[in-house]
Structure formats: C-alpha cells, structure tokens
Amino acid sequence: MKSIDFIVVGGGSSGCTVTHRLVKAGFQVVLLEDGPKDDSIFVQMPATFIRVIGSKRSVIYESEPQPDAGGRKTYVPQGRTLGGGSSINAMLYIRGQKEDYDEWERNGCDGWGWDNVLTAFKRSENHMRLSEPFHGTNGPLRVSDTRFRHPLSQAFLKAAQQTGIPYNDDFNGDKQDGIGFYHTTTFDGRRGSTAATYLKEVENAPNLEIRTGCYVNKIIFDGNNNATGIELRNESGKIEILSVKKEIILTAGALSTPKILMLSGIGPKEQLSKHGISTLYDSPEVGENYQDHLEVSIYGRAKQPISLLGSDKGLKALSYGFQWTCFKTGLLTSNVVESGGFVDTSNCGRPDIQFHVLPTLVGDVDREPIEGHGISINPCFLRPKSRGFARLRSADPTDSMIFESGALSHRDDVDTLIRGVKLARKIIRAPAMAELISEELRPSAKEDISDAEIEAHIRSHAKTVYHPVGTCRMGSDEQAVVDTKLRVNGVKGVRICDASIMPTIVSGNTNAPTIMIAERCAEFILND
C-alpha cells in the first residue's frame, strides 16, 4: 500500500462509517480493529446476538463496585469485531430527540443543532419504506421493519394503548412519543451492521487496508505536537509503528478512546504524572463526564410456553435455523427487542422514559435469566444526571481502566426509574397482557408496593443499556477535549468520532447517533 493518509483506530459503528467516506474520496486508509472479523453466523442472524456478548467478539468493561447500586459492579459489553456495537446490539434504529441536539448547540457545539444533524442522519440512511422529510433512501445503512413480530410484543402494544399511551409508527419522525415497533438496522432478514453495509461496499478497494487483531497502544507525536503515527501490537503480538500523512481518527469508543489519549500524553496532567507519562497537553476532562442509560426489568410469567428464547430448543431450533438459512424468515429474524416506546412520565414536555420490551425472560452479563417463559418490560431513563469517569490504572496499555460508572448516584435518575417501573407494572396488568401473562414475577406479584420497595428493586437490579458516552466531550470552551470539528484540542492531526464526544447523552439508543457523528467527521475532513 502507498503511504497512509488516514489511520482509523477502531472498526466499529463509527470506524466503518468514516472509513467508507474517506475511501470513496480516494484517500489511502488503514482501518485497525482489535477484534476479529464479523463472520460469525451469530452476528449475521438477528435473534442470536445474545450469544455474541461475552464471546471473543465483545469486550466487557467492568466498573468498580458502585455504592448507589447496592455495591454491584457495572458491566458494559461493547463490540470487539468489525462493525463494533452494530454487530452485537439489538439493532434498534433510534436517533434521539430534536431537543438533544439543539441543547448541544446552545451549550457551545455550534453547527450541531437538529437541522444540521438531520442532514447527516438522512445521508447515512437507506430506509426500506420511508423517505422525506425525516428519512433518507440513498445511504449505505439499511433500515427496515422487522420480519417477525412475537405475540408478546404485540400484546404489549395493545396493553400500553389500554393504559392511554398512543401508538407511534415512527419514533424518528415528527415526534418520538408513543409506543410501537422499532425500526432496525436489518435487511433481507439479516443484521445490517456498518461492517455489512458501509465497509462491505469498499472492503476490496485498493486504497483500503483492513487489519484485525491490532491493539493500539498510543499515538506518536513530533516535537510540535503533530501526530505522525501510532504504536500498535499486531496479531502476532509484535509492536509496530505505522506512520500517517494526514490524520489519525480515534473511533475506539467511550471506554477506550480516552485511554489511548492518556497513554499518548493527552489528559489530566496530575493523573498522567502519577503513572510516569509525560504530559503532551493538559486536558483535564479526558475520561470524565461518563454517562449511560440504565434500565430495570419488570418480569411477567407467560401462561403458555411461548416466549422467544424459550422456544428455540431441540427440533424447533433446527426448524428455525433451516427457515432462516433458506428463506431469511421466521423467529431468527427477530431483533428480540421488537417493541417499546417513549413516554413523558414527569410532564416535562418530552419523553423521559424509554421501554425496551423483550418477549422472553432475560438475564444480563452477570446474572442468569429466570427459568421459564415470559416477558421483560424494561423502563430506561433517557437523560441521566449521574456522572462517572474512566482513568488510567497504570501506564501499561493492556491494563484495565479505573472505571467508576456513577450508576444511580443522582436522586433524579432513581425517581425517573420509579415512575417508569410504576407505568410498566400498570401495563403488565392491562387486559391485553393479562390474556397471556399469569403473574408479575419481579419486582413483586403484589399489585400495591411502595416506592421504597421499587427503589430497592432498582438499586439491586438496574443495569446498563450498553450506551457509554461523554468521556471526550465536544465543545467550544477551553476545557473541551475536542472542538466542534472533532479535532482533539492541544495537538494536530487527531480527531475523535465516536460516542465519547457527546456532551450529553441523547434520548434513545446511541448507535444511529454514533454513525451520524462519523458522517459529520467525514464531512469536516472532506470540506477542509
């Protein structure tokens, strides 16, 4: 390959996106990914993503024990394969609320208001059924309705409407409020990750080199703070230096991008000095401002053995596999989180709770699912006020970070979840749900329980929705880690285009916004 114009560090949702745009523009690009290729059938088959979490194609970040979450650790799985989170997530396509981006702009992120980001969202999107004014149909990212809709998912929608929540056919349209079926990053019954869409279109281009199994240790700078290359450990375990002509683009995610910066000498001077790292630029907010969505499950036991992940055993599993392999139809095309919605529980004028509804009883990384058949209705707060951080444990690139998630440390987050749990318990007792569900299993079979009991359930069971953001905040102030063109402050030739740049988390799933951020990064580079 000729000399390298751009090195993209991280082959996830944003990395594949920005790589596509730069390769299409004719630049020489190297894309580096720590994990393997995305060629597992469990990645491609929508319903089996749960089997990928905890495998070699994911990494699970583990926090310190969190005092406000019952002393439990926060476990945050992230993609470690081409496509990153878009290869292991539930494939929900949600942009957030208009107000999220207008707030970014009001707080110093000029050019990041709703009208600006909508253009990038539409540019990325190839929607199977919707077009103007809110959707695009010519982008690489395939967005469609799910091919399979479980009876329990349908029952939730009917029950929610019986409690007074309106139906919404498009959470990314004129308004987010209401309940409905999610749009998904799927096509033809398969997962449509950024690796399967953006990267697939350019993977054989002569000006692109894709390297998996490469772990980046740090960025290398010259005496004028210009980035000249990166140091990596390759698939064979050997240290390599790659030189770059133009820029290095960090897309390693909110729990790895700040680590690379700090190991490169960009971060809080006091922390860097503690680990013997020379400070290239004192950037005190690197690793700070950590945010995530948390949810808690309300479980209902099904009267019949019908739930999604409880009916894929034995001969049934073989028949479902045959149906998917031959026709790309049936249960295995489900994204599992088929239905849900957004509700304003505080009369603030915009939704503050999102429901993720799974037609099965689910566990998590650190806990086994409840035995039997049923439904999980998971209210999630949308705009957390709790904050955490990720800091270096040592100067060893292979060492884990000191990760404090700050889970449930702000009272308002707990109160919002209490309201969400109350509404979920009301829905699970509505007539349409009662036809299929015999009883609530958790937090309690009793209809009347106190707020204190609900809070105890939240503090002992709330979990991440796998949306870490904020640790390399964008802004126009001196403390911001990146400017509004995503350039790392204090140095030259480095940009960040992943969820770490979000000043505040968006009101919804973060994959689509992360892709939008990468689209904007490419836009800035190509317009320079």
What tokens appear for 355 in the block? Answer: 């429901």
The candidate with the shortest Cα–Cα distance to 184, out of 340, 325, 361, is 340
How many Å apart are CA 338 and CA 145, to the nearest integer? 9
The candidate with the shortest Cα–Cα distance to 308, out of 406, 376, 256, is 376
* Angle value at C-alpha 475, between 472 and 477, nearest 5 degrees: 115
Give yes or no: 467 in active site.
Answer: yes
The candidate with the shortest Cα–Cα distance to 165, out of 175, 157, 176, 173, is 157
How many Å apart are CA 33 and CA 86, to the nearest integer? 14
Please provide residue 500's backbone torsions phi and psi, each rounded to the nearest 5 degrees: -65, -20
Q: Confirm if 75 and 64 have CB atoms less than 8 A apart.
A: no
**Beta carbons within 8 Å of 314's beta carbon, 6+ residues apart:** none
How many Å apart are CA 190 and CA 15, to the nearest integer? 21
At what angle are helices 511-527 and 13-24 packed, to 10 degrees? 30
Amino acid at 362: V
Maximum Cα interatomic distance, the chain, rounded to a whole number of Å: 70
Conformation bin of residue 465: beta by default, left when phi > 0, alpha when psi is -120 to 50: alpha
Task: From the candidates 150, 293, 461, 467, give the one annotated as an active-site residue.
Answer: 467
Q: Confirm if 442 and 372 have CB atoms less than 8 A apart.
A: no
What tokens appear for 111 in the block? Answer: 């050019």
Amino acid at 138: N
* Angle value at C-alpha 60, between 58 and 63, nearest 5 degrees: 165
For 172, 259, 411, 416, the CA distances from 406, given in Å and listed in that order, are 29, 18, 12, 16
* Angle value at C-alpha 203, between 200 and 205, nearest 5 degrees: 130
How many Å apart are CA 232 and CA 264, to the nearest integer? 12
**Environment class of residue 500 by beta-carbon count within 10 Å: exposed (0-12), middle (13-18) or buried (19+)?**
buried
How many Å apart are CA 188 and CA 194, to the nearest integer? 15
Hey, which bits of 175-305 come out as E strands?
A: 178-181, 186-187, 190-191, 208-212, 215-221, 227-233, 239-243, 247-250, 266-267, 281-282, 294-295, 298-302
Hey, which bits of 458-512 come out as E strands?
A: 463-464, 494-496
Q: Confirm if 11 and 32 have CB atoms less than 8 A apart.
A: yes
Is 216 annotated among the ligand-binding residues? yes
| Binding-site positions for FAD | 216
Active site residues: 467
